[in-house]
A and B are shown apart, each in its own frame.
Chain A
């Protein structure tokens, strides 16, 4: 294969040079980013959809109208296809803290592990059990009890979200701890403070309401697909309305809770808010730019479209409040934590923040127009209107992903804000090759699963409520596979 032993030697030297250059830190960050964003494509749909399914099933329980039963089964199917992949990709999340971030786990495990274990014991067992009862219990449980199982699942889902967000909030705004110098770790001293972290209290409603937006938009998209073809109109008209209202109500909730989250962020992580606007110098009042065209290094702007006073309002709820700039904060952090670069990657935070808000607003706007167009149950709309409704379904999940990118990238260079830098958290024992293998393996498996998952979701969505007739089993056993 090689012309001479020398060139073979050179080749080997080059390969080993590349392999030793592979940084476990960078690769672990990419892996955590990819697997987390991927996991959270499915989670918000699960969170929102379980409530919509529970509402539909309650409507059926109350009215005995078959239409609601069919809708429950259809959106239940969408929920379940999604739930399976959410669960299996969730295990990866928990294992990764130990696998790739063992120094982080050693440092904060005393605190961070508690909400994760509470999530498992209080919430995750709960939802996994009741979802099994719901899927297989149609013929086994009384109607009332069966309805209760989906509401129990919903309860488990939100509890689960709360504990995970409380854990995440500790990384944004560490509270309720003391540093144990001897053990070189942070130790929990007040679990109440961790569970009522101001960031968690605001992050939680923001996450839940945004999840409702996504589930609502998916429901709208599926309904629109059938209404466009003028089929299953009675049922799909109902789910369209439910979906549109869910987007609107969820959207308003997202706006309000986002406002609260913004205020909490200014209090706890001012650098993140400055990075959201790419505000280099402290300003009072501060304006908010919708769009900026800057020099390639991003340090100075050439052109921008701005709303005066808006950033002041978002940060302080006053029109002329002072918003600290990146340069001032950088100087403060250097004074407090030593030399270093304390700014996140500004172009990411800047654009992610804008697109999150813009896409969220677009989604609400589309839903509002949809409600106006379909008032008095007028479903005879032009094809393009239905196409917009269909293609608008993924908009909220894009906004959600960008919101998380902003939240987590805006925390950099910190892993735990003010306590531990990301570079200090990576596992010391792992090598770049191992992480490269896992990064490639997860990415490939996740990509294949995404294709299969999308095909199944689309197939279920396109079939709608018309299910192939099933022959009832002789002894009414619960079989679902």
Chain B
């Protein structure tokens, strides 16, 4: 296997890791207005992801940096081409991140606590929904191809990206991350809030199944491959199995199924893309591929060693974190009278 192929897999792995991990953070954030009847509920919800949202978000930084190191041309064309969508994602991640930290601290500065928390809660909701939608729009467009000129420079506008396939991709990630988050809530909480999360997961999950089926079929028709078919089929089966397990209150199994759904669904997009990394809709000859977008052999060799040593370690200590914080959180866990 060539080093640039290995790095295509590593970049795919890092983005999949990001979507699996920050995906449920986004889902929890979007659920605040639907499941959070009062402040205690909302604090239960936020605390399910409290210890981990920051390290989950770190995955996008590492994915972006790895893209830069291994495929600088891809990174340069993609990030400058998708300028405004990425701006929106950045602004959303900023307001969401600080909102988690600041929402409980209104009392310390003598602000009206109700207004203060309401504002930050909305920042969490919007800051979760916007990236959930836009990552899907972005990845669908990467697979579909965008207008790139001979220098691999994007020549479209933001409206070029808002095409039916791109928007459908966005709705899939929006509903998929939401379902994922709801199942995470069901797994991590107890009592009434768990039941409500589970019920909402069924509803959102059914909508998601329909959208995902349409999107993956569309992808297969335009980019047929056996691997893509297998991955899409596994994604569909695990999504439905996850919903069934959720219906029968098997939260752990349901959540695990959705994790597999995200891995295989995003995996099917990467398989549809290969060996391109950023196809040009202007002229296929202008496309970026794993050949013409990659770094030199030397850089890829150095980075492969770093990745081979570090990724297992990262998985180990991050896994340990999830183990430390494995307990369920309920209304009882929220100390009364504190922030």
Residue of A98, A126, A136, A477 near B79 (CB, 8 A) is A98
A87-B97, A122-B310 given; 9 more Cβ-contact pairs under 8 Å:
A84-B54, A105-B76, A113-B72, A116-B65, A125-B314, A129-B318, A427-B80, A463-B108, A477-B327
Q: Check A452 for interface membership: any CB of B closer than 8 A.
A: yes
List 20 contacting pairs A-B, 8 Å CB cutoff, sorted by A.
A88-B94, A90-B61, A91-B61, A94-B68, A99-B86, A106-B73, A108-B72, A117-B65, A121-B306, A121-B311, A125-B55, A125-B62, A125-B310, A136-B50, A429-B155, A437-B84, A445-B95, A459-B108, A479-B43, A481-B50
Q: Are A98's CB and B61's CB within 8 A? A: no
Residue of A98, A116, A475 near B69 (CB, 8 A) is A116
A113 CA to B54 CA, complexed, in Å: 23
Q: Are B95's CB and A98's CB within 8 A? A: no
Nearest opposing residue in chain A for B103, CB measure: A481
Q: Are B87's CB and A437's CB within 8 A? A: yes
Q: Are B46's CB and A481's CB within 8 A? A: yes
| Nearest CB of B to A76, in Å | 13
Q: Are A117's CB and B62's CB within 8 A? A: yes
A475 CA to B332 CA, complexed, in Å: 8
Q: Which of B64-80 contact A (CB under 8 A)?
A: 64-66, 68-70, 72-73, 75-80
Collect the chain B residues with CB atoms within 8 Å of residue A458's CB: 109
Nearest opposing residue in chain A for B44, CB measure: A479
Collect the chain B residues with CB atoms within 8 Å of residue A452's CB: 98, 102
Binary contact readout A71-112 vs B (1 if CB under 8 angstroms, 0 otherwise): 000000000110011011111101101111011011011111
A94 CA to B55 CA, complexed, in Å: 16
Nearest opposing residue in chain B for A82, CB measure: B101
Nearest opposing residue in chain B for A468, CB measure: B338
Collect the chain B residues with CB atoms within 8 Å of residue A438's CB: 83-84, 87
Q: Are B54's CB and A471's CB within 8 A? A: no
Interface majority SS (helix, strand, loop, mixed), chain B: helix
Q: Are A109's CB and B295's CB within 8 A? A: yes
Q: Are B321's CB and A132's CB within 8 A? A: yes
Q: Which of A117-133 contact B (CB under 8 A)?
A: 117-122, 124-126, 128-133
Interface hit among A185-193, A243-251, A409-417? A185-193
Known: A95-B90, A98-B78, A121-B62. Contact between A481 and B303, CB under 8 A? Answer: no
Q: Are A105's CB and B100's CB within 8 A? A: no
Collect the chain A residues with CB atoms within 8 Å of residue B321's CB: 129, 132-133
Known: A106-B72, A438-B87. Contact between A428 and B153, CB under 8 A? Answer: yes
Q: Are A429's CB and B306's CB within 8 A? A: no
Q: Check B225 for interface membership: any CB of A closer than 8 A.
A: no
Q: Check B58 for interface membership: any CB of A closer than 8 A.
A: yes
Collect the chain A residues with CB atoms within 8 Å of residue B83's CB: 99, 427, 429-430, 434, 438
| Nearest CB of B to A116, in Å | 4
Q: Are A89's CB and B50's CB within 8 A? A: no
Q: Check A460 for interface membership: any CB of B closer than 8 A.
A: yes
Q: Are A124's CB and B325's CB within 8 A? A: no
A120 CA to B60 CA, complexed, in Å: 10
A98 CA to B50 CA, complexed, in Å: 30
A137 CA to B327 CA, complexed, in Å: 13
Q: Check B163 for interface membership: any CB of A closer than 8 A.
A: no
Q: Check A1 for interface membership: any CB of B closer than 8 A.
A: no
Q: Which of A406-452 contact B (CB under 8 A)?
A: 427-430, 434, 437-438, 441-442, 445, 449, 452
Residue of B72, B81, B338 near A470 (CB, 8 A) is B338
Q: Check A368 for interface membership: any CB of B closer than 8 A.
A: no
Q: Check A114 for interface membership: any CB of B closer than 8 A.
A: yes
Q: Which of A195-232 contact B (CB under 8 A)?
A: none
Q: Are A121's CB and B314's CB within 8 A? A: yes
Q: Check A234 for interface membership: any CB of B closer than 8 A.
A: no
Collect the chain B residues with CB atoms within 8 Å of residue A132's CB: 51-52, 54-55, 321
Q: Check B299 for interface membership: any CB of A closer than 8 A.
A: yes
Collect the chain A residues with CB atoms within 8 Å of residue B58's CB: 87, 120, 124-125, 128
A66 CA to B314 CA, complexed, in Å: 35
Q: Are B65's CB and A102's CB within 8 A? A: no
| Nearest CB of B to A401, in Å | 21
| Nearest CB of B to A169, in Å | 17
Binary contact readout B293-309 vs A (1 if CB under 8 angstroms, 0 otherwise): 00110110011001100
Instruction: Report, nearest first, the 7 A-B pairs whose CB atoms are least far apart.
Output: A109-B72, A98-B79, A113-B69, A120-B62, A113-B68, A102-B80, A117-B69
Nearest opposing residue in chain B for A187, CB measure: B296
Collect the chain A residues with CB atoms within 8 Å of residue B110's CB: 459
Binary contact readout B91-119 vs A (1 if CB under 8 angstroms, 0 otherwise): 10111011011111100111000000000
Residue of B94, B303, B325, B338 near A478 (CB, 8 A) is B325
A103 CA to B154 CA, complexed, in Å: 13
Q: Are B299's CB and A128's CB within 8 A? A: no
Residue of A91, A130, A185, A187 near B298 (CB, 8 A) is A187
Q: Check B191 for interface membership: any CB of A closer than 8 A.
A: no
Q: Check B47 for interface membership: any CB of A closer than 8 A.
A: yes
Q: Check B337 for interface membership: any CB of A closer than 8 A.
A: yes
Collect the chain B residues with CB atoms within 8 Å of residue A90's CB: 61
Q: Are B306's CB and A117's CB within 8 A? A: yes
Known: A95-B79, A121-B310, A477-B327. Contact between A135 and B51, CB under 8 A? Answer: yes
Known: A428-B151, A470-B338. Contact between A136 and B73, CB under 8 A? Answer: no
Q: Check B333 for interface membership: any CB of A closer than 8 A.
A: yes
Q: Check A332 for interface membership: any CB of B closer than 8 A.
A: no
Q: Are B65's CB and A477's CB within 8 A? A: no
Collect the chain A residues with CB atoms within 8 Å of residue B78's CB: 98
Residue of A98, A100, A121, A445 near B94 (CB, 8 A) is A445
Nearest opposing residue in chain B for A106, CB measure: B76
Q: Check A180 for interface membership: any CB of B closer than 8 A.
A: yes
A105 CA to B84 CA, complexed, in Å: 18
A89, A118, A458: most-surrounded residue (chain B CB, <10 A):
A118
Residue of B84, B311, B336 near A471 (CB, 8 A) is B336
A452 CA to B325 CA, complexed, in Å: 30
Q: Are A456's CB and B75's CB within 8 A? A: no
Nearest opposing residue in chain A for B334, CB measure: A479
Q: Check B226 for interface membership: any CB of A closer than 8 A.
A: no
A109 CA to B67 CA, complexed, in Å: 10
Collect the chain A residues with CB atoms within 8 Å of residue B336's CB: 471
A384 CA to B181 CA, complexed, in Å: 54
B51, B64, B110: most-surrounded residue (chain A CB, <10 A):
B51
Q: Are A137's CB and B324's CB within 8 A? A: yes
Q: Check A473 for interface membership: any CB of B closer than 8 A.
A: yes
Collect the chain A residues with CB atoms within 8 Å of residue B325's CB: 136, 140, 478
Collect the chain A residues with CB atoms within 8 Å of residue B295's CB: 109-110, 113, 187-188
Residue of A88, A106, A121, A188 near B97 (CB, 8 A) is A88
Nearest opposing residue in chain B for A136, CB measure: B51
Q: Are A180's CB and B296's CB within 8 A? A: yes
Q: Check B329 for interface membership: any CB of A closer than 8 A.
A: yes
Q: Check A480 for interface membership: any CB of B closer than 8 A.
A: yes
Collect the chain A residues with CB atoms within 8 Å of residue B102's CB: 84, 452, 456
Q: Are A117's CB and B68's CB within 8 A? A: yes
Q: Are B317's CB and A98's CB within 8 A? A: no
